[in-house]
Amino acid sequence: MRMPFATTYSANQLVDAIVAAQTVDPDRLIRIGRAAEYPKQVWYFIASFVALVSLCHFLSVISTYTRTVKPASKGIAPRGRISLLQLPRALVELFRIVAFRCTIPIGQSHSLNVAEVFLTAAYMAVVLTWSLINSTATTGLKLDPKYWANTAGNIAASQLSLLVALGMKNNIFSLLTGISFDKLNYLHRMVARVLCVLIWVHAGGRMKLGLAGAVTWNHPWVQCGLLAGVSLTLLSLVSIRPIRDAGYEVFKVVHLALACIFILSAYFHSNGLGLGYYVWPSILLWGLDRFLRALRLLVFTSKATLNGNATVDVLSSHFLRLKVVKPKFLRWAPGQSVYLTIPGVSLIQAHPFTISGVETVDSEEKLVFLIRVRNGITRRLLHKAQDSYKAAVFLDGPYSSPPLLRGHETVILIAGGSGVAFTLPLLLDVLRQCKAGKPPCSRVLFVWAIRDANHISWISELLHGALDGVSNIEVDIYIYITEGTQEAEGEWDDNLVNMDPEDKAEELPTSSQAGISDPNISRFVTISQRQRPDLTGIIDRELNVCSGGTVSINGSYLPRLILDQC
């Protein structure tokens, strides 16, 4: 019996209906191919850029080691004919001035140099271009979200390995480019913020298409995608500099928690689509970095460490000197730093401090750290040190990429307060090479601004040993005691901002009261009372004296007074 209003179909009509229902979207294979290929092309571009920077770095190192050191000039060098052979070096220096010394203010308390601005804009342009390009459907619909939504998500997921690699302390990019991991940290934050934008572009495209069928909210992997986007957004907000500086210890805990949530959520979201291979390498990199750091801690830990391998001296209410027994297998370059964990002060926190010395063959050698007392762990260490505190200190390092002071006619080292922890080992290394008959330069100028004359005693013993017997290099050490000059609170510590040479200075001969009594040593040292260094005048004078050679300027902080003259 037939049902009322029932419709009957022939066999051919049924086949036609089934075929029509199974008609393949003509754009589908194109979208899948581009979503898989474009993340690779982004990586090809980034790898090419890293290779270019690495090549420039290696050529620079080769040039430094093969450059002949010219004798120091006497007086102002005459301006001779300009050699075309100097043109490449001049162009390189011009590029460095524009890229790294010219700054663009961001807000009232922060600025970015031209290189950082360029890299930020370039990276954002690259990932957005490859996400949105060729997104016109075969029907003529431009910027079809079916194209760019998934492509943006795939590119964001593929870039997580770059994000993690830039934040590692054991950094492959530092090895290739010579850029210290702490300077790469800006790029780490920049990549995170760009990927945050890209993730929400991906999410916006998916929501525009509608979350139905296999991509409804009911699926855990879809929920993980939302969790990843929210956690990265929160992480990007709390890492803004004013918020980060307001409570750095809290930030580190929040950063670790949100980063773990983000990476794991991103993995489960990607794996739900069969794309987990984009994310798991970033987890592997993070684990490798932690493993290497833990391995160093294990190697550098001895019975002496557990029994208390460090002593703390209170130099003033603002400064501490920490002396740690050098681990047997620790090797470092002058100017490098290590991360210190002091369980008696903080069990889980590790902070970087520069080693204020150079490596020797002395088996009883100690690592010396000059520490500026601030809030947090250094303040607690100061309180502990009041009672002859002997601490157990665990070391992880060394890290950072100090400058290579070779092949220059003149080397200028500038520091204020505890910043001498960075410049002093560079000076000691230059003098040590001179004594070994291999002077890396013909003249070295050391400038140190301090608030109190008693601070000279921090380095006087090391200077005595380093300067004794030096004869094949010109050495000038200028120590400026700023006590009595007008300065903001804390300004004298480790920067030289707003240096005004107008204050009348009192030139004093070095004396035993200053901690430098040996006449063979005091001839190298000039002490100025109630004056800050005129860095512009000092550098201009050295450049005028330099007879066509190069001048290397290094410091714990180069003030805006210098940077603004690019």
Helix/strand/coil (H/E/C) assignment for every residue in 512-530: HHHCCCCHHHHCCEEEEEC
Question: What percent of the chain lies above the pLDDT cut of 90?
Answer: 23
Q: CB pairs under 8 A, 24+ apart, for 46-50?
A: 46/126, 46/162, 50/173, 50/176, 50/177
* 3-state secondary structure at position 445: strand
Contact 520, 470 (CB under 8 A): no
Contact 440, 430 (CB under 8 A): yes
> Per-residue confidence at 74, pLDDT binned at 50, 70, 90?
low
Is it true that the peptide bond before 71 is cis, omega within 30 degrees of 0? no
Where is mean pLDDT largest: 151-160, 403-412, 429-438? 151-160
In angstroms, rounded to a whole number, what is the distance separating the alpha carbons of residues 297 and 522? 41
Which token pair is 547? 């007879």
The boundaries of every CATH 2.40.30.10 domain in the chain are 303-399
pLDDT at 560 over 70: no
> Per-residue confidence at 503, pLDDT binned at 50, 70, 90?
very low
What's the CATH code, domain 303-399?
Answer: 2.40.30.10
Supply the pTM of this predicted model: 0.81
H or E stretch covering 104 = strand 103-106
**DSSP state, residue 346:** -
* 3-state secondary structure at position 409: strand
* 3-state secondary structure at position 206: helix
Of 200, 288, 185, 162, nearest to 241 by C-alpha is: 185
In angstroms, rounded to a whole number, what is the distance separating the alpha carbons of residues 160 and 119? 17
pLDDT of residue 123: 96
* 3-state secondary structure at position 16: helix
The CATH class for the domain spanning 408-563 reads: alpha beta
The string of pLDDT tens digits covering residues 225-279 is 999 999 999 999 999 888 888 888 888 889 999 999 999 999 999 998 899 999 9
Higher pLDDT residue, 229 or 147? 229
Which token pair is 430? 């230059």
What's the CATH code, domain 28-67+102-295?
Answer: 1.20.120
> Per-residue confidence at 67, pLDDT binned at 50, 70, 90?
confident
The boundaries of every CATH 1.20.120 domain in the chain are 28-67+102-295
pLDDT of residue 21: 45
Contact 499, 547 (CB under 8 A): no
- Tell me the helix, strand and coil percentages in the chain, rounded to 5: 50, 15, 35
- Cα-Cα-Cα-Cα torsion 491, 496, 497, 503, nearest 10 degrees, comes to 90
